[in-house]
Amino acid sequence: MRSSNRHIERHRTERIGWLRAAVLGANDGIVSTASLVVGVAAAGASHGSILLTGVAGLVAGAMSMAAGEYVSVHSQADTEDADLSRERAELEANPLAEQRELAAIYVDRGLEPALARQVAEQLMAHDAIGAHGRDELGISEAHVARPVQAAFASCASFAAGALLPMAVAAAAPATQVIPWTAGMSLAFLALLGGVAARAGGASVLAGAWRVFFWGALAMAITAGVGRLFGTVV
């Protein structure tokens, strides 16, 4: 038996779909739940009311993230399916014109015209719709829309992220809910930003700073609103 000498590579773009949804969900879970807890605490609510509000925010936020991600990604999938259906019809109606179109794309990318025609012919003989989907429409396996996967990743990661500030708020003394929740949540956000940046091949420090800054801003504004309305009431 001959062994395969094919070189297998794994690229970070292969994880872009689930990584984006998971990071967005966890980040939103931490920020929104921590901001909600801090805002309600700043309004003078009891410890029990703070925790009840946080649990309600966790459940509502997880469901909202799942539904929103599913609808959004499904719209992308519908658009991709419509484009591919149109491309199939064009391939059936005039395959030679589609072959010339594909060859022109390869010429624009730097191939000689004769070689471009040969490549287009062979790729279309192997998988015509795959070649046009990838090289004409820009639809690849790594970036194809997966609504269910994105919805599940967003829901699960939001709940996991929201549980962190909830656990801190539950364990913190009633008079120290705001500093404990805000401080630990910012630490969680910085860690999440750094891990996500490393997984995506970006700067860990920049990734951590981005989520830290926006998380601190969100909590500060929510605390200010809670204090204002708590005083008015």
194, 205 Cβ separation under 8 angstroms: yes
Q: What is the mean pLDDT of residues 97-117?
A: 85
Q: Is residue 28 over pLDDT 80?
A: yes
Reply yes or no on whether the pLDDT at 212 is more than 80. Answer: yes
* pLDDT tens digits for range 151-190: 888 889 899 999 999 999 999 998 899 999 999 999 999 9
Mean pLDDT calculated for residue range 30-59: 92
CA distance 152 to 184: 26
Cα atoms found within 13 Å of the Cα of residue 87, Cβ hemisphere only: 24
Rounded Cα distance between 135 and 111, Å, is: 14
pLDDT at 18 over 60: no
Asked if 29 contacts 58 with a C-beta cutoff of 8 angstroms, the reply is yes
Q: In whole angstroms, what is the distance from residue 163 CA to residue 43 CA? A: 22
pTM of the model: 0.68
What's the CA gap between 152 and 25, in Å, rounded? Answer: 10
Q: Answer whether 129's CB lies under 8 Å from 148's CB.
A: no
Q: Do 37 and 169 form a contact (C-beta atoms < 8 A)?
A: yes
Compute φ and ψ for 79, nearest 5 degrees.
Answer: -65, -45
| Dihedral pair phi/psi, residue 201, rounded to 5° | 80, 15
Instruction: Please enumerate in sequence order all residues whose Cβ is within 8 A of that of 47, keeping only pairs 6 or more positions apart, or say none.
Output: 174, 177
CB 151 within 8 A of CB 76: no
Q: Which pLDDT belongs to residue 68?
A: 87
Contacts of 156 (CB under 8 A, 6+ apart): 22, 25, 62
Query: Mind listing the pLDDT tens digit for each residue in 48-64?
Result: 999 999 999 999 999 99
Name the band, by pLDDT with cuts 50, 70 and 90, for residue 142.
low
Tokens standing for residue 148? 């269910």
Token duo for residue 58: 């966790």
Mean pLDDT, the chain, as a whole number?
82
- Per domain, the residue ranges of the chain are 13-79+145-232
Task: Measure the CA–CA gap between 127 and 105, rounded to whole angstroms.
Answer: 17
pLDDT (0 to 100) of residue 2: 47
Return the closest-CA partner of residue 24 out of 206, 209, 161, 182.
161
